[in-house]
Amino acid sequence: MRGPHNIIRLIRTGATLERTGAMNVVLDAFEAPKPLRFVAHALGKPFMWLGYNGDPSMPPATRALTALGPAYIKFGQVLSTRPDVVGQELADQLRVLQDKLPPFPVEVAKREVAKELGQPVDDMFSEFSAPIAAASIAQVHKATLASTGEQVAVKVLRPGIERAFRKDVDAFYLAARIVDIFAPGARRLRPMEVIEHFDGVVRGELDLRLESSAASEFAANTKGDAGFQLPPIVWSLSARRVMTLGWADGVPLGDNAAIDAAGHDRRALSERVLKLFLLHALRDGYFHADMHQGNLKVAPNGDIIAYDFGIMGHIDEYTRRVYAEILFGFIRKDYKRVAEVHFEAGYVPADKDVDEFARALRAVGEPIFGMDATQISMGRLLSYLFEVTERFGMETRTELILLQRTMVVVEGVARSLDPRMNIWEVARPVVEDYIKKSIGPRAVVFDLARTAQVLARFGPRLPALVEAALIRQASEQDPPRRKGLGALLAAGAAGAVIATILTLGIEALL
């Protein structure tokens, strides 16, 4: 499906933005320069007849994105969390994309549930409500278990959603290929790898068995986190296209008026949502990667409740340490160290100047620290960051896409609760604590212990490896190589012995 016919899909995107009146809204929100406005309108207006009309009752941007399909809706969900980037008016318009999209009929949902779970809905649930929330991929129904009377939420995938997403993603592949061919300067952004990453995320989100598994792992990691709750999974009533989990009572995190009426402290909630994200990302390397307001509630006791685990992020321990050092460097205004970490991790080509890069980072960081949070223009800041990455030839790190995207979303959620929230001040204690545990002396000891254990595992295989190598060398009749091999085997054996001693000794110390 990735053939040239997808060009029509891309043209239709621009045409839909023009036809619905969303083109100017989007360009104004991003403060697009005149040349870009000219090109956008030149490409969109001649093909307006190809654009989707959408629902005229919706605001222009929401109307366009819902008409274009689920992948575009996902993009709108991210923008809805960033009023500091797109403006409060557009952010409010886009917020309906989180969980207030047009639902499909409850009868269709019941058929899907019965088909997936293999028994009539009435046998499983004594009550099954009309849709209470509808997003880009699935909708949710409130139900009551026939066996226990417990209230649950039943998530059901939209009919045909797999095919709809496939169409969008195929068009994105074509767009990435066009960028690769006709815009060599943008290849450092690795558009094909970015779309492949997005494709993988989407495929995982379209299998609710994987989401149930993710929710279970996330719950195990976070069970001791104060002020945080997750609804339990009902495994016996979950399958590929249906997921059942405990009902979560609470106020939507995006409804500030309701939060105030319930007597919750929005400033405290703002700080906690950011700290929880950082804690999960740094401590566990496994985090909720779709933390917009539509997936968060505030429980009556003030706890934050998270649900919808279709997109989860995972980062390895090395990357977590790099990310923490970068954050910590910004917090301390140590731009030289931030620059060095980028070079050490290979994020910036080695032929670039580290001091010059540090000065560019200072130009990014200082305005953040020198202004009230309400005065910071995230649009201009992101624009300058893009200029910096282009100037220094930084390639897109696909392993960090979800982390960076979620960081943007979470900061937007936090600042929607408290516009004066400063990300760096709130992040400091979490990052400092992680730095102490992961980069300090104790971390070095644990790293040595793990390394020794890995080396020691090869001990039982050494005799067989030595014998096989000696036989092979003898058959080759190459004295110089046999001598080199003997030294290598001796070193390997000594290494295994040393590893075993280190393992025993370090375990004793710990």
Whole-angstrom distance, CA of residue 195 vs CA of residue 156: 26
84, 168, 290, 418: which is the annotated catalytic residue?
290
Backbone torsions φ then ψ of 156, nearest 5 degrees: -130, 130
Task: Show the tokens assigned to 230.
Answer: 């997750």
DSSP alpha helix (H) spans, 22-157: 22-29, 34-44, 60-68, 70-80, 83-86, 88-94, 96-99, 106-117, 121-124
Q: For the chain, how long is the longest CA-to-CA vector?
A: 86
CA angle 130, 136, 137 (to 5 degrees): 80
- Is 255 one of the annotated active-site residues of the chain? no
100 DSSP 8-state letter = B
Measuring CA to CA, which residue among 127, 82, 78, 130 is closest to residue 102?
Answer: 130
Residue 463 CB contacts under 8 Å (≥ 6 apart), including other chains:
none
- Using CB atoms within 10 Å of the CB of residue 448, give its burial: 0 to 12 exposed, 13 to 18 middle, 19+ buried: middle
DSSP alpha helix (H) spans, 143-187: 161-182
Residue 394 CB contacts under 8 Å (≥ 6 apart), including other chains:
188, 342, 347, 348, 388
Measuring CA to CA, which residue among 270, 336, 338, 340 is closest to residue 298?
Answer: 270
Amino acid at 99: D
Instruction: Provide the annotated active-site residues.
Output: 290
